[in-house]
Amino acid sequence: MKPIVPKKNEPVRIGFYICHCGTNIASVVDVEAVAKYAATLPNVAVSRTYKYMCSDPGQELIQQDIQESRLNRIVVAACSPLLHEHTFRKATEAGGLNPFYFQMVNIREHDSWVHTDRTEATRKAMALARAAIQRVPHHKPLEVKKVGINPNVLIVGGGIGGIHAALTLANAGKMVYLVEKEATIGGHMAKFDKTFPTLDCAMCVLSPKMAAIGSHPNIHLWTYSEVAKVDGYVGNFKVTVRRKPRYILEDLCTGCQECVNACVYKDAKFADEFNLGLGKRKPIFLPFPQAIPPVTMIDPEVCLNFKRGKNPDGSHTVSDKCKKTCVEACGDRKAIDFKQTQEIKEITVGTIIVATGFQIFDARRIPYYGYGVYPNVYNALEVERLINASGPTEGEVILRNGQVPKKVAIVHCVGSRDENTNRWCSRVCCLYSLKLAHLIKEHTHAEVYNFYIDMRTPGKGMEEFYNRIAEEGMHLIRGRVADVYPDPNDGATGRLVVQAEDTLTNKILKIPVDMVVLATGLEPHPEAESLRRMFNLSCSSEGWFLERHPKLAPVNTFTDGIFLAGCCQGPKDIPDTVAQAGAAAAEAFALIDKGHVEQEPNTAYILDDCCGCKSCIPLCPYTAISFAEDTKKAIINETLCKGCGTCVASCPSGSIVQNLFEDVEIYSEIDGVLAEGLF
């Protein structure tokens, strides 16, 4: 099709289209009346309604009209431009016009979906349509800018989500930087013994993937590291990563752990983080046996070779008071370095995947469950570690006093579906509670009571899993646990009573048990807020990172080139995390493979009228504006300008123009929306 370039003085001919969106719009807005009204407005040559404008026939209608009725501007009143502006720009272009001769009117999200009065909604649609119809005559043909894209990818968070995304991209030949804040990758999954619904061994599937990350030529793995700063934009992000000192030189450490054995501390006596304090470690330790990288680290807070306490900048000072038997044991490998300091790395990447996961709800926030008060009350993650063959008890489910529990209560929905704590359903707790019930029974032959509010088991294979576990002979009690208290008939064993109302029989139950397991829900990380700021993301009101569109762009964010994977976006299980990680990798890959990113041409430029006052120059957050000494005028570097329009609004001589948002365009919209009689 030949591109149609409207000649200078050719009259403006607008095609106006209003979409029924099935009944989404038409049931509230009188679309016929709006089309009739639009037809009376100046420059409107064609005015139509159509059932689904975004469908192929809808788009073809536009293309056909452009050719047959010599249209040179297109206005579509339908859904949000954030959803379909792109679609209609493409249709406008396919019809032979410059795509920027198009303007969209939002009469679904901003009108039919939020108003009920047909007259008012119709008037609003008319006013908004008028604004666009008055705006388009001022539109100019514009070019989409193409800028190159850096093929490297940054992945933040090395849980199963980050791991899967990293391997997918690295296997496709992309260079990946994987930044994990803990000393090992693996995330929560590395703590589990078995996973629902298949009850397959978690580490059997995870550890090969972790090992592949550690040895992949295309992956730079930076554990015990944090992203400190992000600048730039899609295709070209400049990222600063801070690598915290672990006092071990990663390249030299072979993971033999001879240093750990040689440590002057003969016994492990410090709470071990990986086992949530249920086990003990030495000042020098490997985070857990299958850690990747398989490199030890030193805890300067307890190592005798460091002075106690931190310096104001967070660093630690070497005291040199220890015999350093570890250094002796390491010998020629020379992998221990007490003088190691934090290292700052600067990298450039084109795309970023955020996969920072979740934290579990802190059960101390519900005091009547007694977590942190009664030693026999555990959270689910601790029980995962107790069940785990490589955990602190080598897979024996024993209480803190060394006894094997005979009766166990599992309390569902702790910190989920609760007005007082978190309102959302954490999605995995019912299922992992069933898993834990099965595993506890298998390990201890205990009698297990599951207290649930509703048994939620959606997803492939999950209901079958529920049936299977239920048949194993659990007590499944529908009722929220109201209280956990020490059994008055008990001496020193720490037995507890769980009180709940069975809502199916309307009976108050008081069941004495040896162990209470709290199925703690999933929560956003406390530092999600600072990450959000750094990556310029949005969060839902609960604090989960917000996807660009819940259905159509579930791994995209509002910042181009930044994608989400896993539980940082919301609670989900491992299969969904992996699926999302694959999708995020594919989105990043698609961008990289295209070789360039297209940028909205909404940049600003300065007219000759500039009086040289320089007031715009300090306003630009991207330092895109400079002063040309020869002409004594300001100039905007188009490649640096991101099109915010801040300078435009400030210029006292009105000499700055923002493409797509020119002053005349906004003024004609103001005039349009205020149309007489349309309120």
Partner 1 sequence: MANATQSPLPNSTWKPRIVAFFCNWCTYTAADLAGVSRMKHFSNVRIIRLMCSGRVDPQFVLEALAKGADAVLIGGCHPNDCHYVEGNYKCLRRYQMLKRMIADMGIEPERLRLEWISAAEGEKLKRVVNEMVETITKLGPLGLPQKFEQWDREMEEFANHVAARDAAAGGGCAEHGTNTQPLETAHA
Ligand X SMILES: Cc1cc2nc3c(=O)[nH]c(=O)nc-3n(C[C@H](O)[C@H](O)[C@H](O)COP(=O)(O)OP(=O)(O)OC[C@H]3O[C@@H](n4cnc5c(N)ncnc54)[C@H](O)[C@@H]3O)c2cc1C
Q: Which residues bind partner 1 (CB under 8 A)?
A: 33, 36-37, 40-42, 80-82, 106, 108-111, 113-117, 119-124, 126-128, 130-131, 533, 536, 538-541, 546, 550, 558-559, 602, 619, 621-622, 642-646, 648-650, 658, 661, 663, 666-667, 669-671, 673-679
Among 284, 387, 616, 675, binds ligand SF4 (CB under 6 A): 616
Quick check: 634 binds ligand SF4 (CB under 6 A)?
yes
Quick check: 381 binds ligand X (CB under 6 A)?
yes
Instruction: Lay out the sheet containing 14-19: strands in order across.
Output: 44-50, 14-19, 73-78, 102-106
| Total binding residues toward ligand X, as defined by CB under 6 A | 39
Decide the pairing of beta strands 219-222 and 200-201. unpaired
Cis upstream peptide for 293 (omega within 30°):
yes
* Minimum CB–partner distance for residue 308 and partner 1 (Å): 36
Q: Which of residues 318-377 bind ligand X (CB under 6 A)?
A: 355-358, 360
User: Whole-angstrom distance between the N-terminal and C-terminal Cα of the chain?
Assistant: 42
* Minimum CB–partner distance for residue 600 and partner 1 (Å): 9
CA 467-469-470 angle, 5° bins: 60
The span from the CA of 566 to the CA of 402, in Å, is: 37
* Minimum CB–partner distance for residue 677 and partner 1 (Å): 2
CA 671-676-679 angle, 5° bins: 100
Decide the pairing of beta strands 522-523 and 359-360. antiparallel
Q: Which of residues 643-672 bind ligand SF4 (CB under 6 A)?
A: 643-647, 651, 653, 655-656, 658
To which residue do tokens 């209280």 refer?
Answer: 483
Which one of ligand SF4, partner 1, ligand X, none is in contact with 553 (Cβ closer than 5 to 8 A by kind)?
none
* Minimum CB–partner distance for residue 597 and ligand SF4 (Å): 17
Closest C-alpha to 669, from 26, 10, 129: 129
| Residue (571 or 645) nearer to ligand X, CB | 571
The span from the CA of 481 to the CA of 502, in Å, is: 9
Cis upstream peptide for 405 (omega within 30°):
no
* Minimum CB–partner distance for residue 633 and partner 1 (Å): 20
3-state helix, strand, coil in the chain (%, to 5): 30, 25, 45
Quick check: 415 binds ligand X (CB under 6 A)?
no
Residues 6 or more apart in contact with residue 550 via CB below 8 angstroms? none
Quick check: 570 binds ligand X (CB under 6 A)?
no
Decide the pairing of beta strands 522-523 and 515-520. unpaired
Q: Which of residues 574-613 bind ligand SF4 (CB under 6 A)?
A: 603-604, 606, 610-613
- Chain center to CA of 535: 10
Quick check: 391 binds ligand X (CB under 6 A)?
no
Among 428, 484, 513, 585, binds ligand X (CB under 6 A): 428
Q: Which of residues 377-436 bind ligand SF4 (CB under 6 A)?
A: none
Q: By the criterion CB under 6 A, which residues form the site for ligand SF4?
A: 603-604, 606, 610-616, 619-620, 622, 624-625, 634, 636, 641-647, 651, 653, 655-656, 658
Q: By the criterion CB under 6 A, which residues form the site for ligand X?
A: 156-162, 179-182, 187-189, 192, 195-196, 226, 355-358, 360, 380-381, 384, 428, 432, 435, 525, 527, 531, 566-567, 572-575, 577
